[in-house]
Structure 1
Amino acid sequence: MGAPIMFPSLICSVFALLSLAAQTRIQAFKITNSDSFNTTHQNITLSAILQKSAEVCQTVVLKQGGNFVQLRSLTEVSVAAACLSPASAATLKSAISEIQLRNARVDIRYITDSKYHFDDESFEEGRNLITQGVSLVKACLKLKNYESARLQLGETLHTLQDFYSHSNWIELGNRSPYANLINPNLPLENLADKKTPTCQSCITDCTNNILNTIIKQKKLTSGYFSLISIFKPDGKCSHGGTLDMTSRMEPTGGINKDDPEASHGSLHLVAADVATAASKDLLEGIRRSTNDIEFLRLMGISSSSSVLCIVIDTSASMADEIAEVKRVTSFIIDSRRGTADAPSIYILVPFNSTNFGPMNKTTDPDEFKRLVNALSASGEGELKMSLSGLWLALAGAPTASEIFVFTNSPPIDFLKITTVLALIESTKSTVNFMLTNPLTNTSLGILNPLNLLYKTSALASGGQIIEVSKELLANTSSLITNSTVSSLVTIFQAVRNSGGTELFTFVVDSTVRNLTFYITGNPLLFSITAPSGQIQTSVQSEGPLGVIQTVVNFYTVRINTSRPEGQWSINIISALFYTLKVTGRSPVNFKFDFVEVVKIPQPGYFVYKSRPSASGNAKMLVSLLGSASGLLKEVALVDASSSSGVHKGNLENMGNGDYLVTMATVPKGEFYVHVNGQFNSSSTSVFQRQSPTQHKASIISISVLTNGTLVPGQSFKALFTLTTSTNSRTTYIIVVRNSAQYNMTYLPILPSTDTGIAVGFMELSVPANTTGGTEVILTIEAAQPGSTDTNYSFLRLAVSRAVAPPAGLSLSLWLSALTVLISLLSNQ
């Protein structure tokens, strides 16, 4: 178990320092609030990715004999269209957003670590970070771990981009990238040594403060930076700015080009242009290490955005179910081969009463078919490790995947339900359960009580729970074929626990095709009204609106019109629990994250992979995907079980389809995220979308600080802080799990201070033979005794084979911990 940490004493020693930092300027290319005179990490990254992706798309399209249309402007929508994959506009923007946010995170997490920013003339160390980062991106790509690759790419790009702002490369007259910086086989040349003076003092105008001898000799230097000390080697340049204490020491001033008002701000745009070109070069190196198709997958561009993920019980009694899964997967693979609906990723996780896994992930449909066909039914047991199998699938599947679980038994591993729910919420994936252990009288709509945890998981994810006999299982397979297609969006969703009569209305926009209603519950009646006024009831299996397929308690209504635009309604009458979900196919969707707006050390977003605070004032970063002209008009948190609980947010348009949303209040129970918008400012064509996954707020806040990378043969450490909005002494129950099942130590019970603050520590041992690029999902869960309220933190980690020092808790990590903790305290 981990030892306790003396955290409060460290707070006292640097609290004053961080208070000062809160009021100071930034120390890197800015992240937010860009304009025509200021280029940021965000748009440097965006521009480089769009340019390189367009180049690769052109190569792919021409090789395939297609016609590549030259682009006048580069956007996610235009690049995806030129790639002959317009549906990828949404996934391209989502991938870029992941990379951008991880890029921004470097300044939040590693403010004092000079090598991440090329400060303090740390050229060799910074170059090592870049080359090791690129190596890890390539290793993740090899194992199809695209999301981990994007996260590492974001970090690596930040360090590369900072070189051009923080060094004197631009002042030396260079207007192209330094190729040696991304090539570990080339030497870094003509570096100024630690004893060579590089700058003279300046006060207001620092344009020419680099010594003429340095310029003439083409010596490479960078500014020194420190939050704490004014010390630097004699005669050295400083980074500059009020955050940098070294700039107060002779020679005063600085040389950074982070923005137009920085010490060398006149070169800001030049530095940004070269940083963009360097970012493109780094991306080209990654492309050359793999192939064009895999590079485009990294960027979210593929012929399809769908995922086929099967989690299946392989016990002896499951022979019929396994045969049906073989049939369905073969049908999907064979019928969609070469089409836009062929899944881009295939995942298979088996389980039985004693074992679960491994997780098999591939992009090859024939390999997946071979894996499925190799399944055999053997062994038996009354209870199954189904939640463990689902846990592996959630950990390994891409964000927002559709997962199908087949079993005929309740779980033996019921204690994993909290981790499963945390992963569902974090990954925003949808889980559907195909259960062949129904009660005798399913016509009453009563779920088998042994399936209660499956119901909980399905509802949390926005999925379906279908209880049928083995004989009827084939009749439910349409759910799999309908849900594993590209560009599937959720338009409306509701859950009602006590039944009743209720009228639901929603808008279907002009981009939607394949409108489908899913209703679970029995007995119930419903009637659907189209925009035209036509009505079809649940007793009409074929009617004026479409076809209704009924399998026990599961209704599928496929609307037959190809243009369902307008306002629809459905009236449901039921005495018992029921669910409603309305989906369609559309290129327009949205993504969101709960974030903290960070001012220390610079403006940016820190993404919460945990539940927001129940006290309200929650911040969300919401992005509109797949539309070049759309505008979000409303973002709301909607109570999942009631139509009355709607909490609307205040929107701030951040540009490029991104919105910062402030929620003054949040629902007390489970909620969906709901958005309304229109396609341009003068249009009356409105749209609405909803998250299928349910979310929940918590009075517990949990923040985790790590050094970020797993290294074979070394221990990985994480520090986490817990606070509660009640500000009172409490005890926290801690559960930590990792998807690779590496050995871990941590304290399962943590007492807090009188104000509810506790600090925990965990250590994970990475086996020495672990393959580079292996992805590990770490969850740290916290609860209070006697309370149903829980919270968690979700971390996606990757194993690096690069030689690295032991992953201790550095000063940078401690300062980052204090930054987050102070922010938490200031919000109480």
Structure 2
Amino acid sequence: IRSTKSTVSFFMTTAYGRRRRSVTAASFEDYKDLAVASGGQAIQVSKAELPMATDVILDTSTSALVTVLHKAWKGDTAETFPFMLDESLKAVTIYITGTSITFTLTNPAGVSQNYDEAKGKLGVIQTVGNLNRIRLNPDKQSGTWQIRIGSVHPYTLKVTGQSTITFIYDFVEKFGGPHSGYAVLSGRPQAGQPATLMLSVLGRKGPSSVTVKDIGLLIVSSRDEVTNGSMTDLGKGDILVTVDKVPEGEFVVVLRGLDKLSNSEFQRQSTTQMSVSKLHIQALVSSSVEPGKTLMVPFHVMTQGGGGSYTINARNDKGFPMTFPDSLVLVTEQYGNATLTITPPASTESGTDVTLTIDAKSSSGADSNYVILRLSVVTKITDFVQPQCEVVNVFADDCPEDQSQCGHFQWELSANLTDGNGTGIERISLRQGAGILSHSSLTAPNIEAHYNASCCSQIVEFVAVDKVGNVGKCYHSIKRSDASPAVTLSPPLWLCLLVSIFVARP
């Protein structure tokens, strides 16, 4: 989920009776943890209530969906959560998942609506199973809202809306050299270490229509525990953010700023949660692999936590066969080495891109990390010779010398084409000429081409391209050469003749 930044929601029905398997509390908590980490919902309803919960599916499938606030709370005592709604937000929806929930929603003007008011001054409340869904009225007021939630059980709170004011981010690392820059860092950031993020911020009329005030990392289970970062504006909406220490626990990226078009403040959060890891995975991969050949990928795993056995798993998005060790025994702060192999089938099309993910997880499941590698399947090129063409016959004797009469006559050409020991000719096409070109089967080692045209079209050129892109051509012209040029005399010769004439006169 973290590697793809996917949002996952679970809809689970409660089943009763001995002959049906019901979801246990422990298994539902697992699903809830996955949903919360991805920014989704874990909704538990009865089978009869399931159609009523489908509005959540419609909500998440809308375009330009942004997250304003996302909290995971343990409960116990009532808690108040403030959040900022700006003018650009449409279809604002609040989700609260949990049991025995009470809440009061208050807008910036002090108008409130309680959990038991299905249709109130602020919006419409729908309760299905463990889900409370609040859709705010379209005329919602911009500014700081707050919702006070009471429950003795754990619950989650999420506020979303539709807006073109949003951001995307990646953890990055700097690389040197003559063309230095920043590369995306796959995997989770290291515990207790500084980190660098690259954000691209979008506004309603481009990046220049917003002003970013602060960016930080927010613990989702804390009130407002934000690790703020130092910002460097790179222009065109790109911002480099450096934090001195990545916080422990599940966190999200939070951004606050000003929408210049409405002069209203806004806040946005990343949807998918992230957390630190004490595991570090290094892997280097060649940029390409040949179809049918096996590529070896060495990788190295190190932990700053406790040593022991760590589970290794790997997958690729094309389902190519792979081999790798099931586990590695690690010693604290020492790299364990292993090798993965991947073999694209011989039938794999050249140019196919493959995404490979390697995971490592502690035996207790408390810590895990991953690395993402990308490679291409490319057929090795050994054919560098262009197809050859030999003109065999030309029948153009009927073409008249007077071009004004050419329209009533035809001429023909036949040629042999071959790619020798190359990959074979893939296509033949006419480049010059107004006639008709035909040829025998391209699967044959020797291909016969035939061209027929009016005598008015006196030039033909057709090209043959083999399977790796080498190009050969056939060219022929039936234009007759002009008459021999008149003999001309140079000035010295004229002068000699004149002198001879004068000398010869009596």
The TM-score normalised by the length of structure 2 is 0.69
Aligned equivalent of 1:763: 341
Q: Distance in 2 between matches of 1:609 and 1:642?
A: 26
CA contact (8 A) 1:548 1:558 kept: yes
Q: Does 1:789 align with 2:367?
A: yes
Residues 1:722 and 2:304 aligned together = no
Given that 2:358 and 2:371 are in contact with CA atoms closer than 8 Å, whether structure 1 keeps it comes out as yes
For each residue in 1:151-209, what CA deviation from the matched residue of structure 2 results, as whole angstroms up to 9, or x when unmatched? xxxxxxxxxxxxxxxxxxxxxxxxxxxxxxxxxxxxxxxxxxxxxxxxxxxxxxxxxxx
The structure 1 residue matched to 2:317, chosen from 723, 730, 739, is: 739
Alpha-carbon distance change, 804 to 545 in structure 1, aligned in 2, over 3 angstroms:
farther
Which residue in 1 is equivalent to 2:188?
A: 611
- 1:659 counterpart residue number: 239
Q: How does 1:21-36 map to 2 (within 5 A)?
A: none
- Structure 1, unaligned runs of 5 or more: 1-423, 441-445, 806-828
Contact 2:290 2:379 in 1 (8 A): yes
CA contact (8 A) 2:358 2:372 kept: yes
**Residues in 1 aligned to 2:324 and 2:112: alpha-carbon distance in whole angstroms:** 59
Asked whether the equivalents of residues 434 and 467 of structure 1 are also in contact (C-alpha less than 8 Å), the reply is yes
Total equivalences in the alignment: 375
What amino acid is the match of 1:553?
N
Match of 1:576 in 2: 153
The counterpart of 1:596, out of the listed 173, 186, 195, is 173
**Residue deviations 1:652-702, cap 9 Å, x none?**
11111111111112221111111111235x985221100121101111222
- Post-superposition offset of 1:545: 0.5
User: Where does 1:358-757 land on structure 2 (aligned, <5 Å)?
Assistant: 424-438=1-15, 448-600=25-177, 602-626=179-203, 627-680=207-260, 685-725=264-304, 732-751=310-329, 755-757=333-335
Mapped partners of 1:538, 1:730: distance in 2 = 50
Supply the distance in 1 between the matched residues of 2:339 and 2:302 (Cα, whole angstroms).
15
TM superposition shift of 1:569: 0.5
Determine helix, strand or coil for the equivalent of 2:108. Answer: coil
Distance 2:16 2:252 in 1: 31
Sort the Cα spacing of 1:784 and 1:617 in 2 relative to 1 into closer, same or farther, 3 A: same
Task: Tell me which structure has the larger Cα radius of gyration.
Answer: 2
Paired with 2:54 and 2:177, the residues of 1 have a C-alpha distance of 51
Taking the aligned partners of 1:694 and 1:723, their CA distance within structure 2 comes to 23
792-801 or 742-751, larger mean C-alpha shift: 792-801
The Cα of 1:499 is off from its aligned counterpart by 4.2
- 1:643 positional shift: 1.5
Question: Which structure is higher in RCO with an 8 Å CA cutoff and minimum separation 6?
Answer: 1
The residue type equivalent to 1:742 in the other structure is F
Q: Distance in 1 between matches of 2:330 and 2:130?
A: 47
Deviates more, 1:491-500 or 1:614-623: 491-500
Q: Which has the higher helix share?
A: 1
Distance in 2, Cα, partners of 1:538 & 1:496: 18
Q: Structure 1 CA distance, aligned partners of 2:309 and 2:31?
A: 30
Give % identity.
Answer: 38
Q: Does the CA-based 8 Å contact 1:512-1:564 persist in structure 2? A: no
1:561 is paired with a residue whose SS is: coil
Give, in angstroms, the shift of residue 642 of structure 1: 1.7
CA distance in structure 1 between the partners assigned to 2:372 and 2:269 by the alignment: 23
CA contact (8 A) 1:438 1:448 kept: no
Shift of 1:647: 1.1
* Aligned residue identity for 2:31: Y
Q: Give, in angstroms, the shift of residue 619 of structure 1.
A: 0.9
Letter in 1 for 2:89: V
C-alpha deviation, 1:449, in angstroms = 3.0
| Cα distance, 1:796–1:563 mapped onto 2, change above 3 Å | farther
Structure 1 stretch 460-469 or stretch 754-763: which is displaced more? 754-763
Q: Distance in 1 between matches of 2:361 and 2:379?
A: 35
Q: Is the Cα–Cα contact under 8 Å of residues 68 and 161 in structure 2 kept in the other structure?
A: yes
Change in Cα spacing, 1:799 to 1:439, as seen in structure 2 (3 Å) is farther
CA contact (8 A) 2:211 2:258 kept: yes
1:782 and 1:650 map into 2 onto residues whose CA distance is: 31
Q: Could you tell me which residue of structure 2 aligns to residue 158 of structure 1?
A: none
**Whole-angstrom distance in 2 between the partners of 1:437 and 1:794:** 38
Asked if structure 1 preserves the Cα contact closer than 8 Å seen for 2:285 and 2:375, the reply is: no
Q: Is this contact kept in 1: 2:187–2:370, CA < 8 A?
A: yes
Cα distance in structure 1, aligned partners of 2:382 and 2:37: 40
Conserved in 2, the CA contact under 8 Å of 1:428 and 1:693?
A: yes
Q: TM-score, normalised by structure 1?
A: 0.43
CA RMSD, Structure 1 to Structure 2 (Å): 2.6
**CA 1:714/1:572 → structure 2, altered by over 3 Å: closer, same or farther?**
same
2:105 alignment partner, SS class: strand
Change (3 A) 1:498 1:802: farther
Summarize the Cα distance change of 1:493–1:447 in structure 2 as closer, same or farther, 3 Å threshold. farther
Report the counterpart of residue 269 of structure 1 in structure 2.
none
Equivalent in the alignment of 1:10: none
Greater percentage in strand: 2
| 2:233 match: secondary structure | strand
1:562-620 CA distance string (max 9 Å, x none): 35311111000011011111011111101110111122464211211200011221111
Is this contact kept in 2: 1:669–1:696, CA < 8 A?
A: yes
Q: Secondary structure at the match of 2:231?
A: strand
SS where residue 209 of structure 2 aligns? coil
Distance 1:803 1:582 in 2: 54
Q: In structure 1, the residue corresponding to 2:208 is in which secondary structure?
A: coil
Q: Distance in 2 between matches of 1:486 and 1:804?
A: 48
Distance 1:804 1:701, change over 3 A: farther
Contact 2:311 2:361 in 1 (8 A): yes
Contact 1:514/1:562 (<8 A) preserved: no
The aligned amino acid for 1:648 is N
User: Residues 439 and 448 of structure 1 are in contact (CA less than 8 Å); yes or no, is this contact kept in structure 2?
Assistant: no
Distance 1:721 1:693 in 2: 27
Is the Cα contact below 8 Å between 1:438 and 1:467 reproduced in 2?
A: no
CA offsets, 1:503-529, max 9 Å, x none? 000111121111110111111101111
Opposite residue 639 of structure 1, the aligned amino acid is I
> 5+ unaligned residues in a row in structure 2: which ranges?
18-22, 384-506
1:132-155 CA deviation, whole Å, 9 max, x = no partner?
A: xxxxxxxxxxxxxxxxxxxxxxxx
**1: distance between equivalents of 2:194 and 2:222?**
22
* Residue 536 to residue 710, structure 1, CA distance change in 2 (3 Å): farther
Match of 1:413 in 2: none
1:452-474 Cα offsets, whole Å, 9 max, x none, are 33222111101011122222111
- 2: CA distance between counterparts of 1:455 and 1:745? 33
Cα displacement string for residues 786-811 of structure 1 (whole angstroms, at most 9, x for unaligned residues): 56111111235554466599xxxxxx
State whether residues 303 and 331 of structure 2, in contact with CA within 8 Å, keep that contact through their aligned partners in structure 1. no
Counterpart of 1:695, as a letter, is M
